[in-house]
Structure 1
Amino acid sequence: MLSRLKTLSSRQFTFILAVYYVCVFNIPFFAVVKHGIDKQTDVNMLFVATIPLFLVFALSFVFSLFSVKYLAKPFFIVLTLISANVFFAEFQYGAVIDYGMIENLVQTNRAEASTYLNWVSVLSFCITGVIPALLIYKVNIHYQPFAKELLRKALFMLAMLAGILVIAAFYYENYLAFGRNNNLIKRSIIPTYFIGSAAKFININYVQTPLEYRQLGLDAEIVAKKTKPNLVVMVVGETARAQNYSYYGYAKPTNSHTKEQQLLVFKDTHSCGTATAVSLPCMFSRMDRKNYNERRAKAQDSVIDVLDHAGVQLRWLDNDSGCKGVCNNIQHILVDNSKLTKWCNGDSCFDEVLLQELDKQLSSIKTKDTLIVLHLIGSHGPTYYQRYPEQHRVFKPDCQRSDIQNCTQQELFNTYDNTILYTDYILSRVVKRLKQINQFDTAMVYMSDHGESLGESGLYLHGAPYAIAPKQQTHIPFLVWLPEDFAKQNKLSLSCLQQQANSGGFSHDNLFDSLLGLMNVTSTVYKPQGDIFARCKQQ
């Protein structure tokens, strides 16, 4: 059948391809359009009817630029295969492939990427990508002599442009108003938006000249004179949302392991981003979320470096996809998840593997002010069921598969809640270890990098553009274990901290100054107003 495909002119090929992209790959786009229409009380159905025509004309115009002999087939085969994957991500998970998502994908390791592979994704890729790509390869595209081909292509593009202008002439104000009221529309168009985002990523990371590196806080020093040095364990959570924490009003007992340890629970805390690639470097950066710039962040010290300048002993232990550059200048260990051990299956490891690494560090560190960071894999999806051992499979039935959209809501929430409960177990074990240490004043800080969507409003996973991200992806847990001895030695009022924690209004923006304050480090880059502990410091 494929060998007998009829011959198409380049214009016919371009138009048919544009129709396919509109009718198949842009199904998520039309879902966004429908959502916008449903919000309106007065709908002009003629305007609505022009939307698919407008998109066909626009894609036909753009595709014509690449419908060139020797280029068309390889270009559109690759584009169709990539678009098939983007379509699946948007259709099944409600993901938006913008700059931040592309950055996250580039930094994803093999084991993490494999969690998104399942029979549904493979079948979708074959049907929407491989089969059309094979048809593109087999079709016979007839090109006229250069001058005739150029003239006919120009006429075709003018016709498409004329169609766009006619629609705009009648419905320009409708398109303008509808676009302003529905910011997600342009982000959902395949392939134009993800291509633009990819071009931006390539330009920033591979074309632009790197900025000159800037060191911060070279004047940093530890100012407190204490009998014992501080030892703080900073636990960085992964994909944990506050909504599923008992501490934040959730009905299920997801914090049963730490409930007796009197943690400070900081209410209403928000992340810097909705994906690790953004949130992790941002939360340790001097820049706040509103002025955060990835390029500048890579070219200057983080709070980890400032603590290093002050002489604080530092360790970074990682069971996730790396520290995204934050720990490059200090001693760090990335767990080798390719090994088959008690805690690792060859693709990923349970977070208890970090407790083993923590024990090694605690037995070998010098008795001086110390910060140890534990970067958990936590609740990373979609394979939530791989984040906790069988003995921690408390909430059942759970979702034992990666195509989470095909699980029931109860199963999905149960498996995610198991990850939260298991993280709570890890925190309790950290606190237990710190309580046994006598040569340090010990404390623990836990903060997640971002949250997660579990099917609310049709969204799954994370990585939504921050401006339109739901609270499930930005509202995060922020917990602190601060024993009385630590508070007394560091002149902190626990009652004041408890009142402040209940008042809310915190974010990743507080972390830079709060870590410096907790470690009694002063510097010109330190801002007391951002330090949650400075507000409760006793003279």
Structure 2
Amino acid sequence: MPSTSQIRNDRTAVAAWTLSVSHPLMTLLVALWLLLFANLPFWRTVWQGVEGWDNGNPLFLLSLPLFALCWLYLLLSLLAWGRLTKPVLGAVLLVSAAASYFMHSYGIVIDYSMLTNVLQTDSGEAMELFSGRLVGWLLAVGVLPVLLLSRLQAPRRRWSRELRVKLVSMLLALACLVGIAMSQYQSYASLLRNHREVRLLLTPSNLLAAVHGYVRRELRAPQALQVIGGDAHRIAHVGAAIKPRLTILLVGETARAANFSLNGYARQTNPQLAKAGVISFSHVSSCGTATAVSVPCMFLEVGHDHYDESMARNREGLLDVLQRAGVKVLWRDNNSGCKGACDRVPSEDVSHLNVAALCGDGECHDEVLLSGLQDYLDRLTDDAVVVLHMKGSHGPAYFKRYPAAFARFAPVCRSSELDQCSTEAIVNAYDNSLVYTDHVLAQTVELLKRNGQRFDTAMLYVSDHGESLGEGGIYLHGLPYAMAPEEQTHIPMLLWLSPGMERHANLQAHCLEGLEDRALSHDNLFHSVLGLMAVQTAVYQPERDLFRQCLAPRQAFEGRAGASGAIN
């Protein structure tokens, strides 16, 4: 056993590497570190927002770092108390370092919806974001200050004195904030009014606000499931020769309309669909900028303006209404789940099937959604809607979203660090993923054609949201809708109808083609699918049904006449 003198010497050596610092000063040092090293996107945005040295108000410019420092100090002081000061500050440093990396590298902002996206990301998607650069950033911005923090030791004080010193320091910080705000009110008001994203960039206050928003929503009192379309029924078919209707609805991932050649993009990203007779609606907007918002929203009847995230789990949607009306429903998923849209209908997760030609490295390409689907169709004898939730063009590893045979454009970015790749390489990889999506959709059309003897068939494809590929220094998606660029909200939507579906649904193809340039959105999905599947309910809104205005006069008359003859 070591002797007493050895133990004393060891303690002396440790003490030599320890600095006595009060908790308030410790908190101030951490706030200063975060201000200088974890908030580069914040300072870049602020400097551009105030027009830099051309601002003309030097006192305002000088006050900015002091204001931000006092704000961060006050927040950290509210979080860290007593013996928990160092652990709390250490955790804040590490989390802030990670947040600052993604804000700096991808141009994102942090709010509760972005936090929701992070928490709902599966392990495979999370690993795509892991890189050596991320590790280096975390070591330099997070781990290093934590190690330095561990060498600080607060002097022992009575708890009353410790509390008094802490409260006095917080009051001084608050007084500083108030004084600056009052003396430079117009300048700060103008900055925050014209650049609202600033509040979503200051770390860690943006993280605290995001956590608060997320927890408040998660802890909200559970609500009873709200039944929608309780009166839903199918309109009686007119004529004994009418076949069952089969619609395959493909929910795309991260596809933006601007890169679809069907919409005028210079590159041929839709070579197969260009020959398949599909209709491309070129002016469609998404309900959100992330899967967690867009998927549940598009399957509800309320629309973008009235959607609330609590509805995702507490409100019935399109698939519930179809199932209640007697339509067979199946959800097949190759993504990260249906976000509540399929909770009460049959569903299958095909993302981990062992299909040699399509699966490997922990994920499957989207053709796996069609694997075994014919067996399901062979058992159908009635109207049906099959939803295929695609992996699509999910980033940042676009190069993983397609088989090698679809690498039409080169060179491609083979890194998750998009800001380290050229724009050309990023767009090449992204466009290759769209070429593969084109192939999957074309294969779906062929599947429906093969089943044309038994069903009247339709394919409807719509992406959940778009994607930024570096425009304005922004990558990926998920920005708050009010500040999101068009690349994240302008999405593709495609329609294919079999001749039998056109005829028996009495739709006029030339009329539908005339809607290609009409402004549409996710708001149209719920009501259009009900219309296509001849389902009647009081929640159906005909003005949002894109098929309604293209009904031939006879169908409109027979639909009304047949409404009394529901199919049970």
Q: Aligning the two structures, in what range does the TM-score lie when normalised by the shorter sequence?
A: over 0.9
The change in CA–CA distance for 1:435 and 1:508 in structure 2 (over 3 A counts) is: same
Q: Aligned-pair distance for 1:340?
A: 7.4
2:41 is aligned with 1:28: yes
2:303 is aligned with 1:288: yes
Aligned to 1:520: 534
Say which one has the larger Rg.
2
Identical columns (%): 38
CA distance in 2, matches of 1:367, 1:36: 62
2:547 is aligned with 1:533: yes
The change in CA–CA distance for 1:312 and 1:477 in structure 2 (over 3 A counts) is: same
Count of residue pairs the alignment pairs up: 536
2:167 is aligned with 1:147: no
2:326 is aligned with 1:311: yes
2:464 is aligned with 1:449: yes
2:342 is aligned with 1:327: yes
Q: Aligned-pair distance for 1:303?
A: 0.6
CA distance in 2, matches of 1:33, 1:350: 42
Q: Aligned-pair distance for 1:309?
A: 0.5
**TM-score of the aligned structures, taking structure 2 as reference length:** 0.91
Among residues 141, 146, 151, which one is paired with 1:128 in the alignment? 141
CA distance in 2, matches of 1:181, 1:401: 35
CA distance in 1, matches of 2:544, 2:156: 65
When the two chains are superposed, the root-mean-square deviation of aligned CA atoms in Å is: 1.7
CA distance in 1, matches of 2:266, 2:57: 44
Superposed, which structure 2 residues align to 1:310-389 within 5 Å? Answer: 310-337=325-352, 339=354, 341-364=356-379, 366-389=380-403
2:483 is aligned with 1:468: yes
Q: Aligned-pair distance for 1:144?
A: 2.4
2:231 is aligned with 1:216: no
CA distance in 2, matches of 1:82, 1:472: 29
CA distance in 2, matches of 1:111, 1:145: 50
2:201 is aligned with 1:188: yes
CA distance in 2, matches of 1:362, 1:250: 35
Q: Aligned-pair distance for 1:41?
A: 7.1
Q: Aligned-pair distance for 1:177?
A: 1.3
SS at match of 1:136: helix
The change in CA–CA distance for 1:40 and 1:350 in structure 2 (over 3 A counts) is: farther
Q: Aligned-pair distance for 1:69?
A: 2.1
- 1:416 is aligned with what amino acid? Y
The change in CA–CA distance for 1:143 and 1:501 in structure 2 (over 3 A counts) is: farther
| Gapped regions of structure 1 (runs ≥ 5) | none
Superposed, which structure 2 residues align to 1:499-518 within 5 Å? Answer: 499-502=514-517, 504-518=518-532
2:437 is aligned with 1:423: yes
Aligned to 1:413: 427
CA distance in 1, matches of 2:53, 2:223: 47
SS at match of 1:70: helix
CA distance in 1, matches of 2:90, 2:408: 47
- 1:515 is aligned with what amino acid? V
CA distance in 2, matches of 1:41, 1:403: 34
Quick check: 152-161 or 390-399, which moved more? 152-161
* 1:407-465 deviations in Å (ceiling 9; x for gaps): 11110000000011100010000001111111001110000000001111111100000
| CA contact 2:333–2:351 (8 Å) conserved in 1 | no
Aligned to 1:278: 293
SS at match of 2:251: strand
SS at match of 2:246: strand
Q: Aligned-pair distance for 1:130?
A: 1.7
Quick check: 255-264 or 45-54, which moved more? 45-54
2:147 is aligned with 1:118: no
- 2:170 is aligned with what amino acid? M
SS at match of 1:374: strand
The change in CA–CA distance for 1:361 and 1:338 in structure 2 (over 3 A counts) is: closer
| CA contact 2:355–2:368 (8 Å) conserved in 1 | no
Aligned to 2:21: 8
SS at match of 1:266: strand
Aligned to 2:112: 99
Aligned to 1:391: 405
The change in CA–CA distance for 1:213 and 1:122 in structure 2 (over 3 A counts) is: same
Aligned to 1:264: 279
2:173 is aligned with 1:173: no
SS at match of 2:359: coil
| CA contact 2:312–2:341 (8 Å) conserved in 1 | no
- 2:237 is aligned with what amino acid? K
Aligned to 1:434: 448
| CA contact 1:338–1:345 (8 Å) conserved in 2 | no
**TM-score of the aligned structures, taking structure 1 as reference length:** 0.96
- 1:326 is aligned with what amino acid? A
CA distance in 2, matches of 1:338, 1:181: 49
- 2:478 is aligned with what amino acid? G
| CA contact 1:9–1:143 (8 Å) conserved in 2 | no
The change in CA–CA distance for 1:130 and 1:477 in structure 2 (over 3 A counts) is: same
SS at match of 1:381: coil
